[in-house]
Amino acid sequence: MRNLSKRFISLLAVFLTVSFISSNLYSQDAAKLFKANCAACHKTSDKRSTGPGLLNVKSRWPDQAKLISWVKNAPEFLKTGDAYANNLFKEFNQIPMPPQSLTEAEITAIIDWCDKGGDEAAPVAKAPEAGAPAGAAAAQTSESSGSTPYILVGLCIILLFLIAALGQVRAAQQALLNERAGIPVPEKADRSLWGNFCHWTSNNKKLVAVASFLIFIWILKITWDALLGIGVYQGYAPEQPIKFSHKLHAGDNKIDCQYCHTGVEKSRHAVIPSANVCMNCHKYVQEGPEHGTKEIAKIYAALDFNPETQQYGPNPKPIQWIRVHSLPDHAYFNHSQHVKVGKIECKECHGAVDSMTVVSQFSPLTMGWCVNCHRETEVDFKNNGYYEELHKQFVNDPKYKKGDKFTIGSIGGLECAKCHY
């Protein structure tokens, strides 16, 4: 009876702890997979983007096997003639969804997470107070997600109390049985609190071993996550010296990214525009829809410009913009190679900047994230003279089979020296 109770309590502790961890990680993994593979074209709400919103997506696809096939390889699935898929393809301007190198389990996790609203279903963080740093909202979200270890500790404490309570019940039952059987009750040893703890652990070695193992795994996971997070600033959104809204300029007013970031097709760097670029418009537009003249006046002050006389003074000074996206010094990245040659859209790395009032770092910018993109992204040969010779070599290679994917990794995109030298 005693051994059975111990085994039951141990299994209960393991089951509840593992269930909590696995369900929490399942949700976190689905969110990460969505952001890495789907967020550029889809939203977890019912709002349309490049593709349809994914809220309640399962109700629109009664056959989940078809939905998984569609996500895994949409161009091939269209060939089956499925009416719903083809109508969806036409509805969204016949923009093909690229094949996804995800497992069926990963696709199912993403679908289940998005069907419930994804991040939209999570509690909305309280908006930062006026005058608070622009990164305050991101910090609140980070604090919320960082509460998971504390929840786990709380759960462990509850389990320990439950174990102790069940132990007391078992002891009381055993004493009652001994009394009925006429077995004398042994005298209670006079021990200190530490002595009682040592006595309990010596009599519950299996349970102590299981609890110690779980605590060790938990500490190991916290350490691993902390190490992986070093140098990763996803969600970083610093407050800039001038409140510049990309949503207003790139979203509402449809100003092309390259109008301001002129180096993106010509240089390694996208280039932060000079204040003179701002003056192409703000020499005449002297009041904004949200901040009035306050923020535009800061541009005038930096250029020593008098809006009344339309004259520049002799004392301009630079605007101290705060960098949002930053790679380590040992990593080489060339914007023109990706944008001009690779034809990668800005939002693939920077997210939907045209909807950001305050720009934040959308992607993790880790080596694993870059390598994964190189493994999955196919080379675009059409009307691209840069890859003409490589294309000839590829199609004439006897190892080539029609339909094979020719990715960045196929042309050396996974070699260390491409980015580190």
pLDDT value for 153: 73
Helix (H) or strand (E) holding 22: helix 2-37
Other Cβ atoms closer than 10 A to 274:
14
CA torsion sign for 335, 336, 341, 346 is positive
CB 372 within 8 A of CB 100: no
pLDDT value for 134: 38
Q: DSSP assignment of 373-408, as one string?
A: HHHHPBP--TT-GGGHHHHHHHHH-TT--TT---BG
Q: What is the pTM of this model?
A: 0.53
For residue 211, report the phi and psi dihedrals to the nearest 5 degrees: -65, -40
Residue 288 forms beta bridges with which residues?
A: 292
List the domains of the chain with CATH numbers: 13-122 (1.10.760.10), 366-421 (no CATH)
SS3 category, 288: strand
CA torsion sign for 274, 278, 279, 280 is positive
Close Cβ partners of 258 (under 8 Å, ≥ 6 residues apart): 264, 265
pLDDT value for 382: 73
Close Cβ partners of 225 (under 8 Å, ≥ 6 residues apart): none
- Please state, in angstroms and rounded to a whole number, the distance separating the CA atoms of residues 31 and 210: 31
CA torsion sign for 266, 270, 274, 279 is positive
pLDDT value for 77: 87
pLDDT value for 129: 39
- What the block records as the tokens of 84 is 């719903």
pLDDT value for 349: 93
For residue 145, report the phi and psi dihedrals to the nearest 5 degrees: -70, -30
pLDDT value for 141: 41
> H helices within 120-238, ranges in order?
136-145, 148-181, 193-203, 205-228
CA-based nearest residue to 149, from 11, 12, 21, 19: 21
- Please state, in angstroms and rounded to a whole number, the distance separating the CA atoms of residues 357 and 289: 13
Residues of the chain short of pLDDT 50, as ranges, are 1-5, 7-8, 18, 20-25, 122-145
CA 202 to chain centre: 45
pLDDT value for 157: 79
- Please state, in angstroms and rounded to a whole number, the distance separating the CA atoms of residues 301 and 319: 10
CA-based nearest residue to 14, from 222, 156, 161: 156
For residue 389, report the phi and psi dihedrals to the nearest 5 degrees: -65, -40
